[in-house]
Structure formats: C-alpha cells, structure tokens
C-alpha cells in the first residue's frame, strides 16, 4: 500500500450563518437561535448585577435618599423577573423539542 499518487484534500464547505436579528428567537427556534436568546439572558443578568452594585455603591457614597436606591432595587428585580421568565420559556421550548 504504497504512497504514490496525490491525495485529494477534503475541503470544508462554508456553512451559511443565520441572519442577525433582534435577538429574540421565534417560538419554534432551536440551535443557534436558542443559544442566542440564552446569551442575551446571561448578558442582561450580568449587566443588571453590575449596574445594581454600582448604583448601591454610588448611592451610599453620594448619600442618595433611600427612595432613589429603592428605585434601582425595583429596576433590578424587574430585570431578574424578565430573565427568569425568558429562561423558563427557553427551558420549556427545549423540553418540547427533545420529547
């Protein structure tokens, strides 16, 4: 089994990428769209934590009234609630596709 001759090199075909949209996946989406929505939720959670911590620190440093600090608490809670709803929807969508 000599080694003469040329071997044909397998070339990878380019994979078409999905179009970039608003980030919201359609109801029956899977794969990249599902992952994109999950990444968006992770980003919202991370940014919410960073902004909330920054507002708490800044409020204490500048002596803001408690009502302003409470407003940031409510905004953070709203963002976390939104994230939990989206996570639940993703979980249900994934479970429906798997089973």
Residue 94 has what pLDDT?
87
pLDDT of 1-44, one tens digit each? 555 555 555 566 665 554 555 555 555 556 888 899 999 999 99
* Backbone phi, psi, residue 47, to 5°: -65, -40
Token readout for 65 is 């009234």
Q: Can you tell me the mean pLDDT for 39-66?
A: 95
Give the residue extent of every domain in the chain. 32-98
pLDDT tens sequence across 63-72: 999 988 899 9
pLDDT at 33: 84
Residues 66-95 have pLDDT tens digits of 988 899 999 999 999 999 999 999 999 988
- H-assigned helices in 2-65: 32-62
- Asked if 2 and 68 touch (Cβ cutoff 8 Å), the reply is no
- Predicted TM-score (pTM) of the model is 0.65
């Amino acid at each position: 089994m000599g080694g003469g001759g040329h071997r044909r090199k397998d070339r990878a075909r380019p994979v078409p990428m999905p179009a970039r949209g608003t980030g919201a996946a359609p109801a029956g989406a899977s794969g990249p769209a599902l992952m994109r929505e999950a990444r968006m939720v992770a980003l919202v959670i991370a940014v919410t934590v960073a902004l909330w911590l920054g507002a708490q620190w800044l409020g204490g440093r500048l002596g803001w009234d408690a009502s302003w600090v409470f407003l940031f608490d409510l905004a953070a809670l709203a963002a976390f609630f939104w994230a939990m709803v989206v996570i639940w929807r993703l979980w249900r969508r994934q479970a429906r596709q798997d089973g």
